[in-house]
Amino acid sequence: MEALKKIIGLVLVAASSFWLTACMEESGFNIVWEGLEVEFEDASRPNGTIRKIMTKTSDNQVDQEMVRLNLVGQQLSEPVTILVGVDPESTAIAGVHYRLVDNEVTIPANSSFVDMPLEILTGNLGTEESPNLTLTILDAGDMKISTNYNQLTLEIRLSCPSDLAGEYSTVTVGTGGTVNYQVVITELEPFTYRISDITGGVYSQVFGAEDNPAVFTELCGEITITDQPDLVFGDDTFNGTGRVNEDGTIRINWRNEEAEESGVTTLTRVIE
């Protein structure tokens, strides 16, 4: 009887394995996607948005930019022509903030991409302006247009001189009480910085933990912190805003989304 049970069990296991394999094959798990579609390469970024920060040196300045469009899938032996338009909800104005050199571009045969030229009319930009240009793929001939990546928004912004790198003494007032500390700000690239501890010493002085660095951007005195990871306690993010004051001090409002830790940190540069 025991031998019969073992035989039946083996048969059932084999049948189950065959059934699972058949189901996976039918469901397409073993099929490689072989479709073709066109997309904006940078549309995969958060909110399908990229920021173009321009540095103005003259009132008639024109800067050349490129927007890449991809052919997703195997390369073709014939060219693919793509028609690009501007979404009517765009706040950027043609001839004032930008100029499309040509709204029709072609991915060459045996290639996977093409760069579409775009002119930014930097000379017309003002620091108080925030024009957004949303491009959309209107037509690609016989090619499918990507559902998720068929639009790309360019945030056109004018830069101001930015030099925040250095060591700062800090005072943070928030859920952790009042904390005095010191942090270091390092420039990663123009207008992008890393602060050695976004909590201004709260993690260290209140919880006895490590500092939590974060990356932020600064544009004409406005500071933005977006979805920076909590590297100390994990599974959480920091967001915030801030301002560079006329006297050189910096004020940052930050918050930890799930832990609900928050604070206002005032930074004063340490003069050597």
Do 140 and 43 share a structural domain? yes
Interatomic CA distance for residues 255 and 259, integer angstroms: 9
What does the pLDDT look like over 187-235, one tens digit per residue? 999 889 999 999 999 999 999 999 999 999 998 889 999 999 999 998 8
Per-residue pLDDT band for 26 (boundaries 50, 70, 90) equals low
Domain final position from 158, 186, 207: 158
Do 151 and 201 share a structural domain? no
- Residue 176 vs residues 39, 195, 247, 259: alpha-carbon distances, Å: 46, 19, 27, 12
Interatomic CA distance for residues 150 and 40, integer angstroms: 6
Tell whether the torsion through CA atoms of 101, 105, 109 and 115 is positive or negative: positive
CATH code for position 148: 2.60.40.1740
Paired tokens of 96:
């004032």
Least confident of 15-19, 39-43, 61-65, 66-70: 15-19
Burial readout 166-188 (b: 16 or more C-beta within 10 A, e: otherwise): eebebbbebebeebebebebeee
Q: What does residue 3 show for φ and ψ, rounded to 5 degrees?
A: -65, -40
Q: What is the DSSP string of 227-270?
A: EEE-TTT-S-EEEEEEEE-TTS-EEEEEEETTT--EEEEEEEEP
Interatomic CA distance for residues 242 and 252, integer angstroms: 4
Domain final position from 141, 158, 175: 158
Do 263 and 186 share a structural domain? yes
Of 110, 111, 155, give the one whose Cα is nearest residue 131.
155
**Distance of alpha carbon 159 from the chain centroid:** 19
Domain span at residue 187 reads 166-269
Domain final position from 104, 127, 158: 158
Interatomic CA distance for residues 81 and 244, integer angstroms: 47
What does the pLDDT look like over 81-119, one tens digit per residue? 999 999 999 999 999 999 999 999 999 999 999 999 999
pTM of the model: 0.60
